[in-house]
Amino acid sequence: MNFYEWFFLEKGRAPAGLFSWSHLLSVTIALAFFITLGYFLGKRNQDNPKGQRKVLIFTTAGILALVIMKMSFLLATTDNIPNTLLENMPLFFCDMMVFIVPLAAFTRGRFQDICFDFIAICGFIMGLMGNYAAGNIYGSHPAFSYLSLISAISHSISAFAAMFVFRAKLNKMEKRNIIFVIGILFVYMSITLAVDYATGKNYMFFLGGDGTPFGLFYDMVGGNLIAYQIIIYVLQCGYIGVFYLIYYPIVKTIRKRREKKLNGSKPSPEQ
């Protein structure tokens, strides 16, 4: 057996299994690397718009390259190209970065601010859930294999983008944009749900958990698809709302502490 058969085709190898040591180790290393990189690049380019744009363009190129690498391999190793294309459209929650990061890189004004807010809010959850809850990946593939590594890097880039946006202070988090940030996800989910019903595929796990923790909610409602799909909407769109509810009080508290510290450090008029 050669390396291609072992690494790419996974011949003679068993799946890692969700939450196995190899699964947890590989995704933790990937996340730690990309989050750290995002922090330092964000810090370095905090006051450098040209540098920020370059990072976003390189991030876009990286995301698109991973999509091409994955699809090229799948198409080269399948006997059913139409079905492979249908099963691998960028319609999962984590795939949204394929669209949002390029939009953030090449647009301007309020729309760009909305994209930055979306990246900041959803990037970390995409990185964490996409890596640690990937039962559909690690339940079917070894941790150190081509498709598993593509998955780990792809999801970790989402966390990288979020850290970069936060550290470079690109997110505005304006209250007037909340409905639009949630609206991006709502529209995307609705398109995905229509595609699921039209094709019978299971994008965003609207038709079942497929080995992910979403299966707990599917079982909880006894397989009732309408109730289950409402839960999926509430969980994912609700996450953004909860993020805002937590974010604003934290920022307000930090600002008050800074102001108190500054006022306390100023000399009194009598001094």
Q: Which helix (H) or strand (E) holds 104?
A: helix 97-106
CA distances from 239 to 82, 124, 230, 234 (A): 34, 12, 14, 8
Q: Which amino acid is at 182?
A: I
Q: Tell me, what's the pLDDT at 210?
A: 84
Q: pLDDT 10s digit of each residue in the chain, 271 long?
A: 799 999 999 999 999 999 999 999 999 999 999 999 999 999 999 999 999 999 999 999 999 999 999 999 999 999 999 999 999 999 999 999 999 999 999 999 999 999 999 999 999 999 999 999 888 899 899 999 999 999 999 999 999 999 999 999 999 999 999 999 999 999 999 999 999 999 999 999 999 988 778 899 999 999 999 999 999 999 999 999 999 999 999 999 998 888 888 877 666 555 4
C-alpha 171/C-alpha 164 separation (Å) is: 10
Q: With contact defined as beta carbons under 8 Å apart, do 31 and 131 qualify?
A: yes
Q: Tell me, what's the pLDDT at 128?
A: 95
Say whether 128 sits in a helix, a strand or coil: helix
Angle between helices 97-106 and 109-132 (to 10 degrees): 150
Q: Tell me, what's the pLDDT at 270?
A: 54
